[in-house]
């Protein structure tokens, strides 16, 4: 077939492709932290709810299983998202604080984790964030461990 004028179906396909590209570009910008409209934490998206499932750092009922990331503006959007997802999967939920662009501290109250639990959390947090080049610290009460140094030896 020689190249003739495009029919209505071809125009619809092109329009659909352009819309998909625009959506993908917007999502990429939001996930990488390049959009000022994107919240630093999913806490901004969810209403406060108190229920039986609140056992961690949000036991007062704020945002039902969600964690607030302190210092999120210091790190990449991907690192913040990974740290938040990791923390929300813990019980109890730790406090999350980015000390700078490449260091995050997960902190639990004294006595809330055994030494074995702290080591397990250290390994999981390192696995979740090492690909982003983030140094991971685990703090239980006043004791703090540099997980990255422990695992990388």
pLDDT reported for residue 107: 94
In angstroms, rounded to a whole number, what is the distance separating the alpha carbons of residues 43 and 63?
Answer: 6
- The overall average pLDDT reported for the chain is 73
Model confidence at 76: pLDDT above 60: yes
The C-alpha atoms of residue 100 and residue 112 are separated, in whole angstroms, by: 26
The structure tokens listed for 54 are 């609140």
Tell me if 129 sits within 8 A of 136, measured CB to CB.
yes
User: What are the DSSP calls for 50-62, one per residue?
Assistant: --TT--STTTT-T
Please state the pTM of the whole predicted model.
0.59
């Amino acid at each position: 077939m020689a190249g003739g004028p495009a029919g209505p179906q071809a125009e619809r396909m092109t329009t659909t492709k352009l819309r998909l590209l625009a959506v993908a570009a917007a999502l990429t910008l939001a996930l990488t932290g390049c959009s000022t409209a994107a919240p630093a934490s999913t806490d901004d998206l969810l209403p406060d709810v108190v229920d039986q499932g609140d056992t961690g750092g949000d036991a007062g009922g704020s945002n039902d299983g969600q964690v607030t990331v302190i210092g999120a503006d210091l790190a990449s959007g991907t690192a913040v998202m990974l740290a938040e997802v990791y923390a929300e999967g813990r019980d109890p939920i730790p406090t999350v604080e980015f000390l700078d662009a490449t260091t995050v501290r997960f902190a639990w109250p004294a006595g809330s984790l055994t030494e074995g639990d702290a080591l397990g959390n250290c390994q999981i947090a390192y696995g979740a964030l090492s690909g982003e080049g983030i140094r991971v610290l685990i703090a239980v009460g006043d004791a703090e461990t540099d997980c990255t140094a422990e695992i990388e030896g």
